Structure 1
Amino acid sequence: MRLVLLLVCLLYFIPPANSQENKITDTSEIDLTKMNLLLNEISIHTTLNIEDNKTQIIRLNQKEITSSLSKNPAELLEKSIAISVQKSQNGGGSPNIRGFEANRILLVLDGVKLNNTIYRSGHLQNILSIDPFILENISILHGPSTVFYGSGALGGSIILNTINPENYSENINSFSSQHESSSNSYLTHLHSVYKKNNTSFLSSATYKKYGNLKMGVNRFHGYENWGKDEFTTNENTQLYSDYSQIDLTQKIHHKINNSSSLSINSQFSTTSDIHRYDKLNDVSNGSPKYESWYYGPQTRVFNSLSYSNHLNKILADKIDLNFNIQNIEESRHKQKFTDNFSTSRIENLDIFDSKISLRKNIKNWQIDYGFSNRFEKLSSDAYNKNVSGDMSFATSRYPDNGSEVLNFSTFILSEYRSNNKLKWFNAVRGDVEKIEVHFSENNPFELNETLLLENWNIAASSNLFYSILENNFISFSIYNSFRNPNVDDLGKVFSKVDGIVVIPNPDLNSEKIVSSELMFQHLGKNNKFDIVLFNSFLTDAIAKREISINGVDSILYDGEWMKTIANTNITSAKMMGVNLIYNQKINDKLSVKSISSFVNAISSDSFPLAHIPPLSSRLQFNYSVSENSSFSFYSIYNSWKKSEDFDLNGVDNFEEATIDGTPSWYTLNLIYSRKINNFQLSISCENILDAHYKTFASAISSSGRNFIVNLQSEF
């Protein structure tokens, strides 16, 4: 009923839109294109706004997002900046930043942290619930993101901002339709911006339908049967990889007066059932292990209320207030091939957030400070159902009597500018979090009925930015971050790898990291070059290790005796790496840009650290045929991930790789775009060579040769 009411409200608020050409009036962001660089560059910023980070930031603007022809934000990051993205199924997409993934990176949508207490440590597809067709920009940032947003930014943050209707001076309607051949998918999107007096509206709807994904035919890696699973593939078609998704957005911005405004942001996303491909390809005694294994509809409801006021008072020149409520519902359903019953596990999570941010300018100083608190309430249920429809007890994924999380934090950020050459940034955050998880007295694990966990943390960052020569800059940063254990770390019981079950461990500390970065940046008239060297020291890292309960190292779970492992704080790990970005405008028609990244890690216990991706790079050539048409040719490359570098507890999914690891791969891709009046036609051929490959840690093979036709129109 709650979801039905939300849909009705969204439809009620959809306003009419006049057929007028839109003009964006916001000029608050300085774009590097104004320095005669490329219109479609990756931009590097170093201003105080938290999204314009003091350390390296990679930002994609709306034009880059649209021209990438991406179906979701994870694919956008993979296509545009060669970020490693893991996929367990076609409806998956887990970005990896500097060797950190899932709950070790922050997802921030319109200033609100999406990370929650059931974000797991393995692989996450939650970013797919965000509609790429309404993104205004997306940024990857490091450094003080933990200070501003709180727990979770060990590897960095992915900042996603949706279209702000206030930035448009006139009403618009925008329509987009896309078809892809490799999965026989269809995407349709429509959004409208309507302005009346001091109020602006944005209404958006997107529908996506994906068929079964076809893998590449040409096996340049030499492994003829890799990815050709007996029961889940038909020649090169990967069965059970189809699904659909609906995304709805309604935003309202009201200008109260010249100094204050009020904004409402409502979003809704849901999917069909999504089959778990990496489970359906499991084989036991010559037969499929599972009759079925799928995620039920994954639903995200997001409602945010924001108030902004330019006070010009002693304590603050500006104040921002935000209150938001999120509801997450997800479920897992499986039935073994030999069983006559299915098992369902359902999670429902409510999140209540509030935040106050203030800004004060004092001579050469700009100071931002504030407070935030969050409360999360989780319910977790499970049951078995036989063929007659009779239901019986099953162990829940999380504690069956519910869980609560309470967080309170305060922060302060400062920017000092002594002259045009020197900038100094500092930030500090204090954070306290308390978790309570409640097991029923009938729990089969002989645990206490209530487990408590409390963590106190301080995060800080400092960055010095200096112009050494004209158009040449150097930046040095040092910062620490943390990630509080969540309910997924503390109280989850689940089995991913055959014969192994993860059980709760109440003795967990926060993961902590100390990082340093050295960045050199050159901004020329027609070129740009960035090199970033980073070094991180991770302590109390949470990793899965073998554990015993009352001297016993196995328990009966889902009808099988399984070895027990648990999340444990390992001693430490050291990580280091480099990022390179180079853009060059060769002439008025031709430009080239490239990006590469490499990370290496060493664990103190001598075991390979999970999530460490291979070297990745991307090279793109843009050629402008005329004012209204252009070509883009790009290649993406990933190096080998050898078998000895995979983690030992199944996080890296070695069973989905070859016996030697994940082979290196590259793709060649071409996009042609032409504007005809109010229409934009784009035709693309991805993976031109039809190469077979899997991205690191993925179960499903990546798309083979894929033809894309996209038609966009604004009216």
Structure 2
Amino acid sequence: MNQYIQGRFFFLFFSIVSGLINLISHGESDSQAEAIKMGEISVSANRIAKETFRTPNSISVIEKSQMQRVAATITPQILAETVGVLAQQTTVGQGSPILRGLTGYQTLLQIDNVRLNNSTFRSGPNQYLSTIAPHGLDRIEVLRGPNSMLYGSGAIGGVISVYSHRLNYRNDEKFSLVPLANLRFSSAQKGRVGMLGLHGSTNDLAFFVTSSVRRFGDQKLGAGYNLHYNNRKFEIVGEKPNPLPKNSWIKKDEKPLGWSGIDAMAKLGYKISKDQQISFCYQTWRQPELNRYDKISTREYELYQFSPQNRNLLYTAYESKKPIEFIDEAILTLSYQQQIEGRKQIKAANPNEQKEKFDEVGTFGLSGQAMSTSLPRQRIIFGGDFYFDRLSSRTVKTNLVTRTEQVNSDWGRFPNNSLASDLNLFAQSEVEVSPDLQLVLGGRLTHYDLQSDLSSRDASFGLYQKSGQALTGNTGVVFSITENLNWVANFGTAFRAPNLNDTTVVEVTNEGIDAPSLDINPESSWTLETGLKANFSRLIGSVTLYHSEIRDLISRIPVKEIYEGKDLPKLYKDIELENPDTEIFIQDNIDQTQIRGIELSGTVVLNSRLTMYGHGTITRGHILKNNGEPPNPKEFWAARIRREAPPMGLIALQWKEHKKPYWCELYVRGAMSQRRLSRGDIRDPRIQGKTRDPKLVEFDENGLALDAGTPSWYTLNLRGGVKLGQLARLNMNIENLMNRRYRQHGSGISSPGFNLTTSLSTSF
């Protein structure tokens, strides 16, 4: 058995043991052991509260107590320990979840049921989930797999629903006021976070106010070095090469990576009557500047910053029970969200010019839904939503010698005054066929519009307008094999309409520069998944197998390949002149792509003090057909999908004695090597290798790169906590005890080395 097969056999064995141990003998443990909490409640899968055990979808719920144990710097890091999620980081202070091989605009993000995605989201990992601060959150739900039926365009890889602090009303007329505080320190990043909050309530009025500030220094890494090549590629090495390869340099640390930020949230709820309530919420995030390390480390840029990265959200939600006879519940939400971001760049080849691009997206949202149980053995959810984006964009070029500015108000990263909107109607019915069999059926109709004027740069491109419709649906089955074991199956379709980033952007990326691409089609997909969900007194677990096919997946293609033998349009020529020695890309559709995988997770109570939990995920993607033909079998990279997650998992052992104020946990996280590389992966400076030319990469007979890709890694970690009376809690996390240097697949920064995090929370 070769090393490749051995590794995968070990990973599968590791996953099954961590997730499903004692499935048969669950009733033979110590009779005094506490039963673990089984009834995880999800809202995202059905838009109403329901136990995850009784849904056909693959869902993980991260409760507040779990978030406090993780002590994450940014919200995406909370997801790093969730089955099926690869938490990628292009740079510090940012993070992007990859679900079932997809990320960016192919996964849908929402906060308090208000959509975070807008028409400027890009295909690759992005920073927008990080603009939701982790301190004010109540829970996070991760729905893996398509759900365009309930959430519309973009929900192909999955849906991540973030919920802010829940307002709690008193049962009497007294007024309660609870101050909150949290301090957090981390050694590897020299990080300091401080939070103050206030929660108040009566029987009909409740509010919650919180604000936090954070400051982080450069990141201390594990043992080893980064060996950089002048073609923008790099490798992690254990020792300094002697002599250094030609045209290379060595780096012990990754810097500058210091950053700071501030956030605030205010939430107010009022009970109009026992059946009606209204709530208001304002959220803000401010991140003045953040260095993009993978652009600086390659010496391509002297300066590359996200400056600023800000977000504002204001929404009001009205909820009513029994507003009319056949409606049990109804909710109406009105929202306005503002995304303000900039890019500040100084190229190494032109150090006297600074280029800044500023974009502001204002998104108006209106959504409503209702639930009815008026029909026998059925629960029906129906509703609709409307989102409208208006984009302002501009460029400022500054001569750093003369300090003169040149402002282009017609175009930043996008044409100024671009517009986008979508209107959706949906309905879903849950039917109880028998006590042991439940069916879920649903559908959604979507209409979308885009408008952008490109004529200021090239009259031949003119005014771009695109609109279309899509119908998506979902069918799910839950069958109770026993009271504690369900077989589930789900078939769903999804789609994503091309957005402004696909069609009109001019932006620096990890591969080169994206240019406008007007002739592309919407992405569409179908997914079939099936599995088992266990919900015993001492074990909760699931195993899911899925198969997805995506048609017209949008991917980057070098513009010279599309226009081979033809004259380039003026717009592309101008972009080339502005960015010499940088490859220009446009978007094109891939005919047919397949993604398959297996996800396992489980928690087992071993005795009254010990609990073991873990999970494992394997993802495999293949391009089946492009330009009407299958990929060339001799070009292994041509059949690979972008950023395919490696086999990864976690296993943990938690000790907690009943009614004792302390706990501790030992856990191991890791991933196998990822050497199944696409052409985009080989070009990507964030993924290790010696060359950006796929034809120069060596592959074995299985199509695995021999001299490129992300090596396997694992970390040993310890954490624990203690309650200090009734008012305070102290948590300590020691991550990467062995001080290993590693980088998660697709990330632009290495993960911290040995890192001690201390967190003190109080409520008065």
Quick check: TM above 0.5? Answer: yes
- Kindly provide the amino acid, as one letter, of the partner of residue 163 in structure 2: N
CA contact (8 A) 2:83 2:600 kept: no
Equivalent residue in structure 2 for 1:270, among 265, 281, 286:
286
**Counterpart for residue 560 of structure 1:** 580
Deviation at 1:146, TM superposition (A): 1.8
Q: Secondary structure at the match of 1:103?
A: helix
Contact 1:652–1:697 (CA under 8 A) maintained in structure 2: no
Indicate whether 1:432 and 2:447 are aligned: yes
- Residue 618 of structure 2 is matched in structure 1 by 598
Relative to structure 1, the CA distance from residue 187 to residue 337 in structure 2 (aligned partners, 3 Å threshold; closer, same or farther) is same
Q: Check conservation: 1:656, 1:698, Cα contact below 8 A.
A: no
Query: Matches of residues 174-193 of structure 1 in structure 2 within 5 Å?
Result: 174-193=180-199
Is the CA contact (8 Å cut-off) linking 2:100 and 2:144 kept in structure 1?
Answer: no
Residue in 2 that maps onto 1:665: 713
Partner of 1:77: 79
1:643·1:654 contact (CA, 8 Å) conserved in 2? no
Q: Does 1:676 pair with 2:724?
A: yes
Q: How much does 1:290 deviate? A: 2.0
- CA 1:233–1:649 in 2, change beyond 3 Å: closer, same or farther? closer
Q: Distance in 2 between matches of 1:455 and 1:577?
A: 31
Q: CA RMSD in A?
A: 2.8
* Cα displacement (A) at 1:453: 1.3
CA distance in 2, matches of 1:234, 1:642: 23
Say which SS state the counterpart of residue 183 (structure 1) adopts: coil
Match of 1:286 in 2: none
Structure 2, unmatched stretches of 5+, are 1-32, 226-234, 632-637, 692-706
In structure 2, the partner of 1:38 is 36
Per-residue deviation, 1:131: 1.4
Structure-2 change in CA distance of 1:85 and 1:588 (3 Å): same
How many Å apart are 1:473 and its aligned residue?
0.6
Structure 1's 278 and 131: CA in aligned 2 closer, same or farther, altered over 3 A? same
Question: Aligned pair 1:196/2:211, yes or no?
Answer: no
Offset of 1:397 from its aligned partner? 4.3
Is residue 523–residue 552 contact of structure 2 (8 Å, CA) maintained in 1? yes
User: Is 1:409 aligned to residue 410 of structure 2?
Assistant: no
Asked if 1:483 is matched to 2:489, the reply is no
Q: Is 1:217 aligned to 2:223, yes or no? A: yes
- Aligned partners of 1:83, 1:490: CA distance in 2, in Å? 28
- CA separation in 2, counterparts of 1:423 and 1:232? 61
Which residue is equivalent to 1:398? 413
Q: Pick the aligned partner of 1:539 from 551, 556, 560.
A: 551
**1:535 CA drift (Å):** 0.5
Q: Out of 339, 363, 366, which is 2:376 matched to?
A: 363
For residue 297 of structure 1, what is the amino acid of its counterpart? P
Q: CA 1:689–1:648 in structure 2 vs 1: closer, same or farther (change >3 Å)?
A: closer
Between the aligned residues of both structures, percent identity stands at 20
- In structure 2, what is the equivalent of residue 695 of structure 1? 744
Structure-2 change in CA distance of 1:202 and 1:231 (3 Å) = farther
Question: Structure 2: which amino acid aligns with 1:596?
Answer: G
Q: Secondary structure at the match of 1:77?
A: helix
Partner of 2:530: 518
SS of the aligned residue for 2:744 comes to coil
**Alpha carbons of structure 1 residues 457 and 260: separation in structure 2 relative to 1, 3 Å:** same
Distance in structure 2 (CA, Å) of the matches to 1:434 and 1:368 = 26
Asked if structure 1 preserves the Cα contact closer than 8 Å seen for 2:394 and 2:407, the reply is no
C-alpha distance in 1, partners of 2:302/2:61? 43
Q: Which amino acid aligns with 2:209?
A: S
Structure 1 Cα separation of the partners of residues 451 and 513 of structure 2? 22
Give the 3 Å change call, closer, same or farther, for CA 225–294 of structure 1 in structure 2: farther
State the Cα distance separating 1:193 from its structure 2 match.
1.1
What secondary structure is seen at the aligned counterpart in 2 of 1:375?
strand
Alignment of 1:464 with 2:469, yes or no, is no
Residues 196-595 of structure 1 mapped to structure 2, 5 A cutoff: 196-217=202-223, 223-224=238-239, 236-283=252-299, 289-311=300-322, 313-339=324-350, 340-361=352-373, 362-387=375-400, 388-392=402-406, 396-441=411-456, 443=457, 445=458, 447-497=460-510, 500-547=512-559, 548=562, 551-552=567-568, 555=573, 556-560=576-580, 562-595=582-615
1:647 Cα deviation (Å)? Answer: 3.0
Contact 1:48 1:54 in 2 (8 A): no
Contact kept, 8 Å, 1:646 with 1:654, in 2: the verdict is no
Deviations along 1:491-545, one digit per CA (max 9) or x if unpaired, are 01123357x4321111222111100110211221111221000110110110111
Conserved 8 A contact 1:643-1:662: no
Paired with 1:649 and 1:455, the residues of 2 have a C-alpha distance of: 35
Q: Residues 432-458 of structure 1: CA distance to partner in whole angstroms, max 9, x if unpaired? A: 1010011243x1x55422111112111
Q: Which has the higher contact order (CA 8 A, sep 6+)?
A: 2
Distance 2:92 2:274 in 1: 48
1:156 to partner: Cα distance: 0.4
> How far did 1:650 drift?
4.0
Could you tell me how far apart the structure 1 residues matched to 2:319 and 2:161 are?
Answer: 20
CA deviation vs aligned residue, 1:178-232 (integer Å, no higher than 9, x gap): 1000010001112221013411001011111111011111589755469x99999
Q: Deviations over 1:57-108 (max 9, x none)?
A: 1111111111111122111111454731222211221111110111110111
Q: Classify 1:114/1:39 alpha carbon distance in 2 versus 1 (closer, same or farther; 3 Å).
A: same
TM-score between both structures, scaled by the size of structure 1: 0.89
Deviates more, 1:432-441 or 1:396-405: 396-405
Cα separation, 2, equivalents of 1:229 and 1:250: 55
Q: Secondary structure at the match of 1:418?
A: strand
Contact 1:218 1:689 in 2 (8 A): no
Q: Is the 8 A contact 2:210 2:266 kept in 1?
A: yes
In the TM superposition, residue 584 of structure 1 has moved relative to its aligned partner by: 0.7
| Equivalent residue, structure 2, for 1:621 | 653
Give the Cα–Cα distance (whole angstroms) in 1 for the partners of residues 537 and 108 of structure 2. 34
Q: Give per-residue Cα distances to partners, 1:91-141, cap 9 Å, x unaligned.
A: 221111110111110111101110001111011111111111111111111
* Amino acid across the alignment from 1:152: G
Write the deviation string for residues 165-184 of structure 1: whole angstroms up to 9, x where unpaired.
Answer: 13666542221111000010
Aligned partner of 1:310: which letter? K
Q: Taking structure 1 as reference, are residues 656 and 664 closer, same or farther at Cα in structure 2, changes over 3 Å only?
A: same
Q: 1:465 to 1:80 in 2, by over 3 A?
A: closer
Name the amino acid aligned to 1:207: V
TM-score calculated relative to the size of structure 2: 0.83
Equivalence for 2:28:
none
1:165 aligns to what SS in structure 2? coil
The unaligned stretches of length 5 or more in structure 1 are 1-34, 284-288
Aligned length: 672
Matches of 1:406 and 1:68 in 2, distance apart?
Answer: 37
Q: Secondary structure at the match of 1:65?
A: helix
Output the CA distance in 2 between the equivalents of 1:276 and 1:582: 37
Q: Deviations over 1:21-56 (max 9, x none)?
A: xxxxxxxxxxxxxx9543599878998445755311
2:9 maps to none
Distance 1:45 1:331, change over 3 A: closer
In the alignment, is the contact (CA less than 8 A) between 1:643 and 1:660 conserved in 2? no
Q: Distance in 2 between matches of 1:613 and 1:47?
A: 24
Given the superposition, is the C-alpha separation of residues 497 and 251 from structure 1 closer, same or farther in structure 2, using an over 3 Å criterion? closer
Counterpart secondary structure, 2:122: coil
Does 2:760 match 1:711? Answer: yes
Aligned CA distance change for structure 1 residues 43 and 630 (closer, same or farther; 3 Å): farther
